[in-house]
């Protein structure tokens, strides 16, 4: 069991990162939690309202590519682990301009890996199901499936995973990888599917759906995801990869219809638009290794978690009177 006594979370002001911070602060064995976040458009101090009152929490604004800053942080405190959630994540943005994804998701991870190795701190890399590419019907990818990314975003995350695996093989570095399915929950940025649909629906604006809307994703509540990340860090053998998924598959069109039903808005707001390039039609993970090794499984039912999320995000995204 690795210790959670003193943890550095990179990207801790983002959607998943801020939830992970909340889950870590629930632990009585945690003594210090430092967030390193670049605070770009996706990292928001408001995501940390509540946790920011905990005296164990420290927020540092900075970039993964700043090696001198990483060295200073890791020298000043004897951290027992680093959980890397710092990433550029929006597929559409990666298609329009891939360079920031290369900078943060590849070069940033390389810099963080080197610093973690130098300071002998265990590192968990949070990755994505998109590194596997399209999942064929009636299959779910396990951790041994080949990497076959379709977007610049997915390619950058796959590249980072390979760097992490190489660090284990070459240097026997203390590293773990988690690959997560689509997350939903509070504090998600408005560019993502569910918050975007809610924002549009509340204003009676068209809900843009790529192509037919039959693209399938496995949806997992962010609380479950973060508990899986913590379990992987604590219990996962070095060099291992763990798929974290909920086996809760829904089409994008079905998600849009669900949002409209909860908000009592008409389905005529759904507008089909030209599909984006390289759009995979299905992602699905096999999470059995996480259950067997980590004793982790997703526990929040989609129906209740989704409705609670829609209502909470709707309260935040309503037009001002």
Catalytic residue among 79, 132, 153, 283: 153
218 classed as catalytic:
no
Nearest-angstrom CA–CA distance, 111 and 12:
18
- Residue found under tokens 């943890």: 7
Q: What's the predicted TM-score (pTM) here? A: 0.97
130 classed as catalytic:
yes
Min mean pLDDT across 19-23, 264-268, 291-295, 317-321 is at: 317-321
Query: What mean pLDDT is predicted for residues 178-188?
Result: 98
Q: What percent of the chain has pLDDT over 90?
A: 98
Catalytic residue among 37, 130, 223, 280: 130
- What would the pLDDT profile of 264-313 be if each residue is shown by its tens digit? 999 999 999 999 999 999 999 999 999 999 999 999 999 999 999 999 99
Region at 180 (left for phi over 0; alpha for psi -120 to 50; beta for the rest): beta
129 classed as catalytic:
yes
Q: Which CATH architecture has domain 6-186+221-247+284-299?
A: 3-Layer(aba) Sandwich (3.40)
Query: What mean pLDDT is predicted for residues 30-42?
Result: 96
pLDDT at 321 over 80: no
Catalytic residue among 129, 161, 218, 224: 129
pLDDT at 320 over 90: no
Alpha carbons within 13 A on the beta-carbon side of 50? 10
């Amino acid at each position: 069991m690795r210790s959670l006594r003193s943890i550095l979370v990179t990207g801790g002001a983002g959607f998943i990162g801020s939830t992970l911070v909340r889950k870590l602060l629930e632990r009585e064995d945690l003594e210090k939690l430092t967030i390193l976040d670049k605070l770009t458009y996706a990292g928001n101090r408001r995501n940390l309202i509540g946790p920011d009152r905990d005296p164990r929490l420290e927020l540092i604004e900075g970039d993964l590519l700043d090696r001198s800053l990483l060295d200073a942080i890791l020298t000043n405190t004897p951290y027992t682990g680093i959980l890397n959630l710092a990433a550029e994540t929006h597929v559409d943005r990666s298609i329009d301009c891939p360079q920031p994804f290369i900078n943060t998701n590849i070069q940033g991870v390389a810099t963080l890996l080197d610093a973690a190795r130098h300071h002998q701190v265990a590192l968990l890399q949070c990755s994505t199901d998109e590194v596997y590419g399209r999942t064929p019907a009636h299959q779910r990818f396990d951790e041994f499936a080949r990497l076959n990314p379709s977007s610049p975003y997915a390619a950058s995350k796959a590249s980072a995973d390979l760097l992490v695996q190489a660090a284990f093989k070459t240097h026997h570095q203390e590293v773990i990888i988690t690959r997560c399915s689509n997350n939903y929950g509070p504090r998600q940025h408005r560019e993502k599917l569910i918050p975007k649909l809610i924002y549009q629906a509340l204003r009676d604006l068209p809900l843009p759906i790529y192509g037919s809307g039959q693209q399938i994703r496995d949806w997992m509540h962010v609380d479950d995801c973060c508990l899986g990340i913590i379990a992987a860090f604590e219990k996962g053998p070095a060099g291992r990869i763990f798929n974290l998924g909920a086996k809760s598959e829904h089409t994008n069109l079905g998600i849009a219809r669900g949002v409209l039903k909860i908000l009592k808005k008409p389905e005529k707001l759904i507008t089909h638009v030209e599909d984006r390039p390289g759009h995979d039609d299905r992602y699905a993970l096999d999470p059995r290794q996480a259950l067997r090794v980590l004793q982790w499984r997703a526990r929040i039912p989609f129906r209740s978690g989704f409705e609670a999320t829609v209502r909470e995000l709707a309260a935040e995204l309503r037009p001002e009177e």
